[in-house]
Amino acid sequence: MFASRTNWNLTENRLTQALAEYRRGGRPFLDLTLSNPTEAGFLYDSSAILSALQNTESLRYEPDSQGLLSARKAVAGYYFEKGIQLSPADLFLTASTSEAYSWLFRLFCNPGDEVLIPTPGYPLFDFLADINDVRLVRYPLLYDHGWQIDFSSFEKAITPRTRAAIVVHPNNPTGHYAKPQEQAQLSAICAKHSLALISDEVFLDFSLHDAPANSFASQTSSLTFSLSGVSKLCGLPQMKSAWIALSGPNELKNDVRQRLEIIADSYLSMNAPVQLSLPAFLATRTQFQSQLLSRVRANLSFLDREIAKQNACSRLAFDAGWNVVLRVPATRSDEDLALSLLERQGVLVHPGHFYDFSQDGCLVLSLIVPEKEFAEGVHRLLSFLSS
């Protein structure tokens, strides 16, 4: 009855089962995997957000396949503040970055075509690839006092069926940006092999350094799609509002616009109230981002102080984002460790394999957890590892 692309393994993993058990029993636990910003105690400009949604223009239906011009102009303004001039004609609004990926997979890939993705990375792509009949091929990121792309493996992974390469900038959970020289190299390789370069920039603004990182939207040598949205930039995942920014050689961009417009027009997936509110949502991002970054910095400095007191665990360096990777003794599987932490300490963390780490010895923690809970969770985690 069902398409074979939906033949997923539907059994829950042991950690999910244990967590469900915990919840059923009403047992409290410290969730160090919290990634929903609306549940993390941040202060939102609720009157700006809610009054934007009451725009009477919402009562009219004026579909535009790329998204309402007023909304696209606001997104162009976001890039303008970064020193990048984008025409609203090069912006396509989508309901989420996930939807943006799907549209791009449909634009470039026939069934069985390949897309390169970084590993370790966020576990978003496998289902999206299955749904769109795309084969994912992983290229490794290497860690040596910081993360970098293994370009020799990247080039070796390209086959005649490769259609696109994804870079997550900064990557989740490793939190590293593609450095300017890596950006240029990625663009050059993609141009040479006629690949679309897709840059996922949902965490672009969450840099722990003073100098902001450059968006791939400034790249012009290869056909480039920079994806972002209000889900992370403004901490508003419930508003389902994201975009694709197109850059690259003009003649290719023209072809893309015509085809992508038909895909977009077939769905017209963004609703009018949210599109009309996008300028107001984007205007709230400074206030949200400064709260989030001060939370991340406070949690990170607590973590570093506690890590300095013991030697069972260290943390990996990163530039940006909401997560941190801990290196722990690989004396058992990361899943076993995460299970023990939940069952014996009431602390939930993500095992590294959830993010496709190839070896045991990594745990991933969210840094947006409210500070008191984070401190208690880290305290229990480190005492457990040292015992």
Contact positions vs ligand PLP (CB under 6 A): 96-98, 122, 124, 168, 172, 200, 202, 229, 231, 237, 242
* Nearest of 368, 208, 371 to residue 302 by alpha carbon: 371
Per-residue DSSP letter, 310: -
Cα separation, 286 vs 291, whole angstroms: 9
* Nearest of 177, 189, 174, 217 to residue 116 by alpha carbon: 189
Give 124 or 307: the residue with its C-beta nearer to ligand PLP.
Answer: 124
The minimum distance between CB 380 and ligand PLP, in angstroms, equals 25
The minimum distance between CB 322 and ligand PLP, in angstroms, equals 8
Give 31 or 313: the residue with its C-beta nearer to ligand PLP.
Answer: 31
Give 66 or 172: the residue with its C-beta nearer to ligand PLP.
Answer: 172
The minimum distance between CB 67 and ligand PLP, in angstroms, equals 14
Q: Is 361 exposed, middle or buried (0-12, 13-18, 19+ CB in 10 A)?
A: middle
* Nearest of 260, 269, 261, 263 to residue 229 by alpha carbon: 269
Give 171 or 222: the residue with its C-beta nearer to ligand PLP.
Answer: 171
Give 96 or 187: the residue with its C-beta nearer to ligand PLP.
Answer: 96
Using only C-alpha atoms, the chain has a radius of gyration, in whole angstroms, of 21
Cα separation, 225 vs 325, whole angstroms: 28
The minimum distance between CB 171 and ligand PLP, in angstroms, equals 7
Torsion sign (Cα): 108, 113, 118, 120: positive
The minimum distance between CB 129 and ligand PLP, in angstroms, equals 14
Cα separation, 259 vs 60, whole angstroms: 27
Give 191 or 288: the residue with its C-beta nearer to ligand PLP.
Answer: 288
Q: Are 337 and 382 in contact (CB under 8 A)?
A: no
The minimum distance between CB 200 and ligand PLP, in angstroms, equals 5
